[in-house]
Structure 1
Amino acid sequence: MAWNIVFEPLLPVLLIAALAVPGIAALAYSAWRRARGAPWRTAALAVLVLALLNPTVRQEDRETVPDVAAIVVDRSQSQEIGARPDETSAALTRVAERLAREDGIETRIVTAVNNPEDEKGTALFAALEEALADVPRERIAGAIMITDGQVHDVPKTADALGFDAPVHGLIIGRKGEKDRRLRITEAPRFGIVGEPVDLSFRVDETSAGDQQAGETANVTITVDGEEIATTRATIGETTEVTLSLAHGGPNVIEIDVEEGPDELTVLNNRAVVVANGVRDRLRVLLVSGEPHPGERTWRNLLKSDPSVDLVHFTILRPPEKQDGTPIGELSLIAFPTRELFDEKLDEFDLIIFDRYKRRGGVLPIAYFLNIVDYVENGGAFLAAAGPAFASPFSIYRTPLAAILPAQPTGETTTGGYTPGITDTGDRHPVTADLPGAESEPPAWGRWFRTIDAEVDGGDILMETPDGQPLMVLARAREGRVAQLLSDQIWLWSRGYEGGGPQAELLRRLAHWLMKEPDLEEENLAASAQGGTLTLRRRTMRDTTPPATVTTPTGKTRELAMEEVAPGRFEATMGASELGLYRVTQGDLSAVAAAGPLNPREIADVRATEKPLRPITDATGGGIWWAGEDAGDTPGIRSVRAGQDAAGSNWIGLRRNEQYLVHAVHQVPLLTGPVALILILGALALAWWREGR
């Protein structure tokens, strides 16, 4: 409750002043003439003016409202190092207890954590703004930030805070902490598969802000979880390495530097780069044994891909056939067998024999042996069989039999049928989930010929309704082989009876032959997005063991995987930590980066007061090292605006003295009758005094 006197004029103040001027002039003249009643006339005029000003006694029923102080607790990833979590909790407890003992202060505690999807780092001031969004600016007493000092959204000026109150910092950690860190200075975003790419990085070692240089440290480089190189890096200098990308698509390159002496953490001893591998040109050798309707289908498919460099030959006449036709009138050239199969065979990424039949004088046995060596040393071979495969001129009657998984029986079956996917094919990435395969029978057009064969190795992915193999895949030492036991796939490309997924099937087949990771039968993949780590396992087996996940901070967890489709298993878990997650499952491994590849949050994890110092000085706040001694947490005081808000051992919070008014009571001091009595009385006394 509060009392005060206010004036609520009955007339405008200027009008009252204008009316009073003649009276004042008359009174001044009377005083100059020494009139006896002048004092009482002055009193009458004063009462009249005061009555017009209407003095009022006002009583307000007030309720004092507390000031609001915010405690912002840094729970970012850098605050999870060593004893910092416990020290942060202890400091928070002490500050909250001391604030609770202060009358008239409401405490709001807000925790700031990292968002794995952004690169903003530690955003304490964004958390502060959110916590005080509903508080009037004049009620804010101040803010106390409990952090290691690595704050990445400090306002440039105090005005940007939006309130006029001190900001204080309690630093968790130790002065002069040591740390070694690695950062990428130059990295490729793309690279040609098999071609060298350059990568530059720098190792820094700091202690209390001083750079230690001249020493060296071991650095390990891995690609997709497999170690490919080690080197010695000079601390404080840029190191360059050259490596090559092993496959198309994303290649995760990880660089690790060994732990230094008395190092704070190894979280920032690692940097990650994702380089996309691009094949320069896929060189394909297509040899057609004879013209047929499907030959153009093969050619059109391969030529439609701009990344394919196609060399295509159709055998129409053997080189030993000579006649008197002039060279200029020949429509075809002789088959360059020696150049292709002896000198430049290793330059091709894929060799396709399309309905090829063995002919004397075209390909000598030595060249078939070259093809076998090419495949066993890592090459790829695709045999699209025609009727000749079941004849005495079959390529199976050459050294190619050593790598071909299907042996012809000598029979050819004709008649319409719909190709189907085997149980193995349902699991294999080449044929799994082909468009149209979800129905039974598949919603595809029919084929009309099959080359009967017996399979003695590899996987049968497609078959006829009566169980005859149509597509067989196999490995030959380091290389891969595929066989199509029908020459009718071209019917799909022509749209016969609705066609079929010919382009998708052959694309997958070519990628499997080229050993693309996405088409491997046994594959483990990991991805982190939206704070969730997703694991995907593809296998030809019915079950799969749990996967072991190692988080960026070194914690491990086993994760069971559930089957979502034949041969495909998935699992998910939270990925709140920024950095690289490693996943292993038997001999397979995968990596996934949560948030930015090289998070700003862990670029420098040393405790420091430098980022906060400008804003605390600008607002009158202070900084204390709470982690040095648990008992050194400063006390808390309330101070008035304009007074110092920080001392050597105390934190000051501004006292705003704000209140709410619930009711107002007003009583006029001069009512009309009272004022009239006083005026008339004063005038009567003036007349009486002048009449004597």
Structure 2
Amino acid sequence: MAWNIVFEPVVPLLAIVLLALPGVAALLYAAWRGARGAPFRTAALAILVLAVLNPTIRQEDREAVPDIAAIVVDRSQSQDIGNRPGETDAALAMLQERLARTDGIETRIVPVASNPGDEEGTALFGALERALADVPRERIAGAIFITDGQVHDVPENAAALGFDAPVHALIIGRKGERDRRLHVVEAPRFGIVDEPMMLSFRVDETAAGDGVTGETATVSISVDGNPEMTVEAVIGERTDVSLALKHGGPNVIEIDVAEGPDELTMLNNRAVVVANGIRDRLRVLLVSGEPHPGERTWRNLLKADPSVDLVHFTILRPPEKQDGTPIGELSLIAFPTRELFDEKLDQFDLIIFDRYKRRGVLPLAYFLNIVDYVENGGAFLAASGPAFASPFSIYRTPLAAILPAQPSGETTIGGFRPQITGIGARHPVTAGLPGGESDPPAWGRWFRTIDVEVGQGRIVMETPDARPLMVLDHAGKGRIAQLLSDHIWLWSRGYEGGGPQAELLRRLAHWLMKEPDLEEEKLSAAVQGETLTIERRTMDNTAMPARVASPSGAVSEVALEETAPGRFAASVPARELGLYRISQGDLNVVAAAGPLNPREFADVRATDKHMQPIVQATGGGIWWAGADAAGTPGIRTVRPGHDAAGDTWLGLRRNEKYLVHAVHQSPLLVGPLALILILGTLALAWWREGR
């Protein structure tokens, strides 16, 4: 409850002044003339002015409201190092206990954890602003930060805070901590497969506030989880290394520096770079044994891909053809067999024999070269026609050593719709082909197939009566495919609705050339938000659990569930920033949560330099909390304008705000009383002047 006197004029103040001026002038004249009633007339005028001002006694029923103090607790991953979690908890408990004994202060605890999708590091002031968004600025008593000092959103000045109250900081950690850190100086985002690319990094180490230089540290570099090289890097100096990407698409390059003395954490001893591998050009050799309707299908498919250099030959005039035409008058180009199959064979990424048959064009020695080419990592596709079942079949050459299907000598004629086999439903070349999900498939018919016996390899497509149509196999380091019908071109012409000819042949060609996305056995992982998704493609019917190593080193096993034939997947939380390593048998993959090289781990040493400017600008203080929270200061309330920090105490502003529940008013000079007083003083003035 509070009392005070207020004035509530019945007319505007300007009107009161204008009306009083003539009276004041008259009184001054009377006083100059020495009129004996002037004092009483002055009193009458004063009473009149006071009555018009309407003095009132006001009584307010007030309720004091507490001031708000925020304790911002840094729970980012850099605060999980060593004893920091325990020290943070101890300091928080001590502050809460002391604030509970301080009258008029309401405490808000604001925990701030790391966000895997945030590249801005530890944002404590943003969290403080959100926590105090519903609090009037004049009720804020101050803010106390419990942190290691690695704060990345400190305002530039006190005005940017949005409130006028002290900011204090309790630093968790030790002065002069030592840590070794890895920084990527320069890393290309793209690189040509099998071509050298430069990667630059620097190893930094700090001891007792001074940079360590001249010493060396062991740095290991791996690509997609496979060790690539080890180098000795001079601490504090730039190190350049050259390495080559092994495949197209994303290549995850990990750079790890060995643990240093008195290391705080290994989390910032690792950096990750993702470089996309680009194939310079894919060179394909297409040899058509004779002109036929499907020949242009292969040519159009390969020419449509801008990354493919196609060399195409069609044999129009075999050596045994004798028609008497002089050689000098022929416009045909001689088939450069020696150049293609002896000198430059290893320069091709894929060789396609389209309805090729033995006609004396290629000596047997060149077929042996093709076998060696495949076993050393090349790719060979045989698109067979009726000649494959004849005595002129390429199976009657050294190619028989690598071809998985042997012709029986028969050719079957009759309409049928190609079907995907059970193995084909799991194989990346044929799995999920458009139209293949229905029974029978929603595709046009073919009318010829070459009968074969499959001794090895995988049959991924077949006829309704189980005759093989497409067989895939591995030979040494290379790959083999056999297409046992020459009617796939009917799909490209739209016969009976056509079929997924372009997609099927594109997948087939890229599988042969070892496109990573078309591997039969593939493990992949990605982080979206705070969820790690693991996917496994396999030709088996089951998949073993995946082993997941988190950035902090914790290891767990995750069971995978089948989502489609040959497809298994699982999702697990990914709340830590950094690199997750997933392995399953011989397969390894890595996935990054948040930025590849989080700002959170750029420097994890405890420091007061980031908080110092804003603390000084607001009149607050900084204390090193210590191992047992002994450094936690006491708490006082201070008035605005007074010191808000001492050696052993921190101050919170006492704003003395309140809520008014009721107001009672009583006028001091009511109308009748004012009239009596005015008339009385005037009567005294007349009486005095009449004597």
TM-score by structure 2 length?
A: 0.98
2:10 is matched with 10
Is residue 571 of structure 2 the alignment partner of residue 572 of structure 1?
Answer: yes
1:320 is displaced (CA, Å) by 7.0
Q: Where does 1:74-473 land on structure 2 (aligned, <5 Å)?
A: 74-319=74-319, 325=325, 329-360=329-360, 362-473=361-472
1:23 is displaced (CA, Å) by 2.4
1:329 is displaced (CA, Å) by 3.3
1:551 is matched with 550
The letter of the residue matching 1:679 is: I
1:325 is displaced (CA, Å) by 4.1
Is residue 643 of structure 2 the alignment partner of residue 637 of structure 1?
Answer: no
Q: Where does 1:622-633 land on structure 2 (aligned, <5 Å)?
A: 622-633=621-632
1:514 is displaced (CA, Å) by 1.3
Structure 2 distance, partners of 1:493, 1:275, is 37
Listed one character per residue, the Cα deviations across residues 566-589 of structure 1 (whole Å, up to 9, x for unaligned) are 111000011111111000111111
Alignment check: 8 A CA contact 1:251 1:277 kept: yes
Structure 2 distance, partners of 1:384, 1:544, is 34
Unaligned 5+ segments in structure 1 are: none
Q: Where does 1:652-663 land on structure 2 (aligned, <5 Å)?
A: 652-663=651-662
2:27 is matched with 27
Structure 2 distance, partners of 1:627, 1:544, is 50
Alignment check: 8 A CA contact 1:418 1:464 kept: yes
The letter of the residue matching 2:469 is: L
The letter of the residue matching 2:477 is: E
Indicate the percent of aligned positions where both proteins have the same amino acid.
79
1:271 is displaced (CA, Å) by 0.6
The DSSP-based 3-state class of the residue aligned with 2:176 is coil
1:26 is displaced (CA, Å) by 2.8
Alignment check: 8 A CA contact 2:354 2:383 kept: yes
1:28 is displaced (CA, Å) by 2.7
1:326 is displaced (CA, Å) by 5.0
Structure 1 distance, partners of 2:521, 2:197, is 28
The DSSP-based 3-state class of the residue aligned with 1:426 is coil
1:42 is displaced (CA, Å) by 2.0
The letter of the residue matching 1:277 is: G
Alignment check: 8 A CA contact 1:319 1:335 kept: no
1:434 is displaced (CA, Å) by 0.6
Structure 2 distance, partners of 1:45, 1:630, is 70
1:330 is displaced (CA, Å) by 1.8
1:209 is displaced (CA, Å) by 3.2
The letter of the residue matching 1:125 is: F
Unaligned 5+ segments in structure 2 are: none
RMSD: 1.3
Structure 1 distance, partners of 2:410, 2:212, is 78
Alignment check: 8 A CA contact 1:60 1:665 kept: yes
Quick check: 662-671 or 37-46, which moved more? Answer: 37-46
1:327 is displaced (CA, Å) by 5.2
TM-score by structure 1 length?
A: 0.98
Structure 1 distance, partners of 2:432, 2:222, is 33
Structure 2 distance, partners of 1:396, 1:658, is 97
The letter of the residue matching 1:635 is: G
Matched pairs, number: 691
Quick check: 413-422 or 516-525, which moved more? Answer: 516-525
1:192 is displaced (CA, Å) by 1.1
Structure 1 distance, partners of 2:40, 2:312, is 129
1:323 is displaced (CA, Å) by 7.3
Quick check: 464-473 or 329-338, which moved more? Answer: 329-338
1:322 is displaced (CA, Å) by 7.3
1:324 is displaced (CA, Å) by 6.2
Structure 2 distance, partners of 1:139, 1:480, is 75
Structure 2 distance, partners of 1:118, 1:488, is 54
2:512 is matched with 513
1:25 is displaced (CA, Å) by 2.8
Structure 2 distance, partners of 1:433, 1:582, is 29
Is residue 685 of structure 2 the alignment partner of residue 690 of structure 1?
Answer: no
1:30 is displaced (CA, Å) by 3.1
Structure 2 distance, partners of 1:618, 1:379, is 69
Alignment check: 8 A CA contact 2:87 2:628 kept: no
Q: Where does 1:50-65 land on structure 2 (aligned, <5 Å)?
A: 50-65=50-65
Quick check: 96-105 or 294-303, which moved more? Answer: 96-105
1:441 is displaced (CA, Å) by 0.9
The letter of the residue matching 1:342 is: D
Quick check: 522-531 or 682-691, which moved more? Answer: 682-691
The DSSP-based 3-state class of the residue aligned with 2:268 is coil
Structure 1 distance, partners of 2:138, 2:327, is 100
1:321 is displaced (CA, Å) by 6.0
Structure 2 distance, partners of 1:30, 1:287, is 131
The letter of the residue matching 1:608 is: T
1:583 is matched with 582
The letter of the residue matching 1:473 is: L
